[in-house]
Every structure is written in C-alpha cells, then in structure tokens.
C-alpha cells in the first residue's frame, strides 16, 4: 500500500478521497525538522502547504519517498536541489489558488484606498469620524505589477475592469496581454500608485524592494505583498512609511511567519493579514482536487 504523509492541513474531502482510493493517509501537522526526520521514512508521498519546511536534512531521511507535493503556489519551502539529488520529484498546484490570492490583493487595495479597516475600528469603538476617512478611488490609478504570472494576470484583469492602468515588469516574459510591459523595475516604481508583488522568493528576489527602491516611489504610493515574505525588506519599508517616503501598504506574507516583533506592526497606514491569500473554501477544494489528481498520476496503486 502506498503511504501518504500530510504535514499541513488540506481539504478534508481530498484526504477522504485518497483513502477511498486505497491510499494509507497519515495526517500529522505541526512537526518541526527533528520530528519530520523521524517520521518521513516509510512514506511514498509527502504533502505540505507553506508552514512545513522540507529541508535537505528531511530529504536525506527519506527512504521510500517518490514525490513531495506543495499544495499552492511556489516551492520555496522545499529544498528542490536536495530532492532532485535524492531522486524525489517535487510538484505543486500553481493554478488552484490564483483567483483567491488575486481577489485578496485587490481587496487590500480597496481597503487602503478607502481606509476600510481603520473606519471599521473607529465605528467598533463607538465613534463617528466621517470626515476623517476621506479616501481615493482605484479608477484612474496606475497599478504596477512586479511579476506577471497566473496571479499577476488575474490581478491585472480585475484592475483593468475597475478602470486602472496596469503596467508590469517581468524580465522572463516578452509580452503581457493584460497591460503595458515595461523594461525596468524603476519604471514601475516611479509610475505606479499601487505596487503589487507576484514573484517567488529566490536569491534574486530577496529584498528586491528595499530603501533604494522605496526612494524612487511616489510619496502617495502603496505596496501590496501577497507573494512571499522576504521579497520586501520590512525594516526598510517601515522606515519609509514613518518618514513619508511611501504612503503605506498591505501585507499577507512576512519575512518570519508567524511574524515576531515585525516592524510593520503598529503602523497606522499598513494593513496586515495572516497569510490567508489562498484561504477560501473554493481554493482549498481546488487545491485538494489537484493534489488527488497528481497523486493518482504519479503514484498509482
């Protein structure tokens, strides 16, 4: 019998479906590296989301593993080089959560433009501060995308429907059907009213937005990061907000998760959500369905 280790929560229907098909599915979440090393021997497939880190040490402990699956976009929490050297395949479900992340991105832009979170907190406190929360409209503003893959494309389509101008910087593509493809990151930074990141975390993208980049942005501009923690230098961003170099921003991902003593906390013009980009019922169902499809393809009984 093929054994599957589920290390992070996935849709319960997907777990039930795998068991119905005849797989031995063990759900064991919240393991640290030491426990993972003790647990992975004997399993043929491992399913993770974003919390579990599949390090080289974990991979070295594998003896029967055929495939590591990441339910979601990106595989930066998996040591792909170590997996390849071990002969373990790595796959993910990049399209399943694109719509959900894109909707959160646009939702956060609305929240920034109309001060929704602050107005709600004021009302919850029993206040009526109508004049305090004068906002702006997204229509007519320029959205600058950094990265224009599945999620970036979804965000662009929504933004254009709202009347926004969309520009995108992505050195790995030559055409972008949802807006204007620009030739440099600097052009995005200097033109955009909202800068939204949609890139993986790599050596190339780590802190790709830091003090030098913030200095080139409009003082009225916002940064939205629903991609990966670490692509934005949080300390430099917090400093830029405090000094008025940029207006503020919204973050769903952080350099450390859960964030401990993040410099973003307490900033009046920064909205924070706890990495919920893919956390919709629909996205979770799609992710679960794709995981089942991949397993039946790659690990037939």
Query: Would the CA dihedral through 142, 148, 151, 156 be positive or negative?
Result: positive
Do 97 and 227 touch, CB atoms closer than 8 A? no
Q: Which residue out of 228, 255, 286, 290 is catalytically annotated?
A: 228
Across the beta sheet with 142-146, the strand order is: 180-181, 165-169, 142-146, 194-197, 222-225, 248-251, 270-272
Q: Residue 207 catalytic?
A: no
Secondary structure element (H or E) that encloses residue 249, with its range? strand 248-251
Neighbours of 125 (CB within 10 A): 8
Active-site option among 17, 44, 99, 275? 275
Note if 228 is an active site residue: yes
Choose the catalytic residue: 212, 243, 257, 282.
257
Tokens at residue 109, please?
Answer: 């832009």
* d(C-alpha 217, C-alpha 6), whole Å: 43
The string of DSSP codes covering 63-112 is SS--EEEESSS--TTB-HHHHHHHT-EEEE-TTTTHHHHHHHHHHHHHHH
What H or E segment, with its residue span, contains residue 211? helix 211-214
Residue 166 parent element (H or E)? strand 165-169
Rounded Cα distance between 281 and 61, Å, is 34
Residue 202 to residues 17, 199, 209, 229: CA-CA distances in angstroms?
A: 34, 9, 13, 11
**What contacts 32, CB < 8 A, 6 or more positions away?**
none
Catalytic residues: 228, 257, 275
């Amino acid at each position: 019998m093929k054994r599957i280790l589920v290390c992070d929560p996935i849709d319960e229907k997907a777990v039930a479906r795998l068991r119905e098909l005849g797989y031995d599915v063990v759900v064991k979440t919240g393991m640290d590296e030491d426990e993972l090393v003790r647990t992975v021997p004997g399993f043929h497939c491992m399913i993770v989301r974003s919390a579990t880190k599949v390090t080289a040490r974990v991979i070295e402990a594998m003896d029967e593993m055929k495939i590591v699956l990441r339910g979601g976009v990106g595989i930066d929490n998996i040591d792909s080089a170590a997996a390849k050297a071990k002969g373990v395949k790595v796959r993910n479900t990049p399209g399943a959560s694109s719509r959900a992340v894109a909707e959160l991105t646009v939702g956060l832009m609305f929240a920034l433009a109309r001060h929704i979170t602050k107005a709600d907190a004021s009302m919850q406190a029993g206040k009526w501060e109508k004049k305090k929360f004068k906002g702006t409209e997204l229509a007519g503003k320029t959205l600058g995308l950094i990265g224009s893959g599945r999620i970036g494309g979804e965000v662009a389509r929504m933004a254009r429907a709202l009347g926004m101008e969309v520009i995108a910087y992505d050195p790995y593509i030559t055409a972008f059907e949802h807006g204007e493809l620009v030739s440099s990151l600097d052009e995005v930074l200097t033109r955009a009213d909202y800068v939204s990141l949609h890139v993986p975390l790599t050596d190339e993208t780590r802190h790709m937005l830091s003090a030098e980049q913030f200095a080139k942005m409009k003082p009225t501009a916002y940064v939205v990061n629903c991609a990966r923690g670490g692509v934005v230098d949080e300390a430099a961003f917090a400093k830029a907000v405090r000094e008025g170099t940029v207006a503020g921003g919204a973050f769903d991902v952080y350099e450390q998760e859960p964030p401990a003593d993040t410099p973003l906390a307490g900033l009046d013009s920064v909205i924070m959500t706890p990495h919920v980009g893919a956390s919709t019922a629909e996205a979770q169902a799609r992710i679960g369905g794709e995981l089942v499809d991949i397993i039946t393809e790659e690990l037939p009984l």
